[in-house]
Chain A
Amino acid sequence: MPNASSGAGAAGAEPLATAAEHPAAEAVVSVRGVRKHYGAVHAVDGVDLDIRRGELFGLIGHNGAGKSTLFKMMLGLVPATAGEIRIGGVAVGGRDFRAARRAVGYLPENVVLYDNLTGLETLHFFARLKGAAVADCVPVLERVGLAHAARRRVREYSKGMRQRLGFAQALLGKPRLLFLDEPTTGLDPEAIRDFYATLRELRAEGVTMVLTSHILAEIQERVDRLAIMAAGKVQALGTVQALRERMDLPLNIDLRVAEVDIAAVRAALASLPLLAVADCEGGLALQCRRELKMAVLEALTMLAGRVSDLRVREPSLEDVFFGFAD
């Protein structure tokens, strides 16, 4: 098994989360020198990636960045032009593919199931194909909150219910690896919260999860590591915090200042090495370099009489994403 700390093969993409942070980590998915070319179009162009056991791994990128193609190659749906992908040490598309796929669950984007079947029949169908116990279908339906609709036909399900049923079929057979493509599409906020709660439980059980999403705010606090793809390459790989630090994006500090004090506060801030000071609703918005955070905060305490509150905001995953992807 290749070393889990191997990083992205793309230029400039260093392994920011090292194996030392996860001493027992082991690569469940191993991607080595993978390319997918459609004629002159290089959808995936030399990707090296390891996804460790028990982590929630995010794969993000613009449309056309190559993440969907890489996702499908990891599932064995699209053959690679070059390179190799292994799941649990077994080559995807190789002779032992059945065993590998039995340990995998997949929730596609815009999941389409069969309208004529009931929810329970749908799970029975997928359980038989996966070689999973049919008796597990009811507990899985309960886990995704669909037990009440088990005997209703899928055509009567709402979009969110279909998505949950799709998640249920992915959970059949107690997979050790889950591929989740835009999994919260169509879910309401409560269902999204429940969905991520289930993912936390699964992670605690040692299940590895690979997730794509366009809703960066939703995943930034939830993924253990992520890869940012652009132009068919992994442009960055690591934890969200590590990528923030690597991008060296400025911190944002919002000050609540009464309107009459704004001029005075501005004058006091003039001596600080800030990157930007702008008026905003209710006060001022500052930007400073990360390494100056403590110095700036210390200086701000001197203005406690004029500054009634302050909030330090880390750069969002969206800021990080645009920094790498563009």
Chain B
Amino acid sequence: MEIRQIATIAGKEFWDRLRNRWVLAVALVFTAFALVIAYFGAAQQGAVGFRSIEVTIASLVSLVIYLIPLIALMLGFDAIVGERERGSLDLLLALPITRFELLLGKYLGLAAALTFSTVVGFGLVALVLARQLDLGALFHYFGFMGSSVLLGMAFLSLAVMLSVFAADRTRASGLAIALWFFFVLVFDLLLLGALVLGGDGHGSEFYPYLLLANPADVFRILNIFSLDDVRTLYGLATVFPPALARPWLLGGVMLGWIALPLGVAAWRFRK
């Protein structure tokens, strides 16, 4: 494996997103949403202005869990199938580069663009709020930013896997939307349905572990369990075993969600 080849592909992908203002647009969206949530999140209760980092993060988690998976899937769904459909894949593969280097370079370049947008977008808000946050609050906020980056990379990995399997861009985009619906909307409903139907019967103790099968839920748990006030706001916290809610463990699960789809994509792309 030649790192230089991976870096060249990744650099081009990142530069492409920077130049077409994708990075800027996404960073602005994150900044705008985060600021609105931080200052107007409690407007329904008749209060305006920054209240607490816990409430802000809780609101941001609810937003990010929808937004980042969607953005990541849209960013990566045509990474490979797009090149194939346009006819540029053959040209790239005729160069002294392996398929794995190409795939990894593409992923890393797109991940860098998404990470840059996330860090800049939410980082600007941290700068704005810096005066009102103590060190502990800043630590939690940066933890939220880090987990958001991991969430984006996990869904980007799924998107790149789709882009390897899909026959054309249209199918890839349809699959990306379907994947978003499944992980962000349907998965928890299915789990809740199973929990209600199964009651306290045999096997119900495994349901919390099933939450690890969804990177969006792992992200939610990562953030919920880091903040005491927020934990009580979420019903899921009552069913999730605290022993599993260790940041390093959940972080490891998230890394698994990044590596596994990428590994499957690499295996499929070799053929």
Contact = CB atoms under 8 A, between A and B. Distances in A.
Determine if chain A interacts with chain B: yes
B88 A77 contact: no
A128 interface: yes
B228 interface: no
Nearest to B20: A116
B96 A108 contact: no
A174 interface: no
B9 to A, nearest CB: 8
- Name B's interface SS: helix
Nearest to A169: B91
Contacts of A128: 4, 8
Interface in B49-96: 86-88, 90-96
A267 interface: no
B198 to A, nearest CB: 46
A102 B96 contact: yes
Contacts, number: 60
A137 B2 CA distance: 22
Given A128-B4, A128-B8, A129-B5, A112 B94 contact: no
Nearest to A102: B96
Contacts of B188: none
Nearest to A104: B94
A110 B86 CA distance: 9
Contacts of A114: 12, 16, 88
Nearest to B91: A108
Contacts of B95: 101, 126, 129-130
Nearest to B85: A112
Interface in A144-193: 166, 169, 179
Contact of A76 (B5, B16, B86, B94): B94
Nearest to A122: B12
Contact of B91 (A99, A106, A116, A117): A106
B97 interface: yes
Given A106-B91, A129-B5, A112 B96 contact: no
Contacts of B92: 129
Interface string B1-42: 010110011001001100110000000000000000000000
Contacts of B20: 116
A267 B9 CA distance: 74
Nearest to B83: A112
B94 A129 contact: no
Nearest to B92: A129
Contact of B19 (A75, A77, A102, A116): A116
A111 B90 CA distance: 10
A106 B94 contact: yes
A106 B90 CA distance: 9
A139 B12 CA distance: 22
A129 B96 contact: yes
B96 A101 contact: yes
Nearest to B86: A112
List the 6 shortest-distance A-B pairs measured between CB atoms, nearest first: A98-B96, A101-B96, A106-B94, A112-B86, A128-B8, A112-B88
Interface of B: 2, 4-5, 8-9, 12, 15-16, 19-20, 86-88, 90-97
Interface of A: 72, 75-77, 97-99, 101-102, 104, 106, 108-114, 116-117, 125-126, 128-131, 166, 169, 179
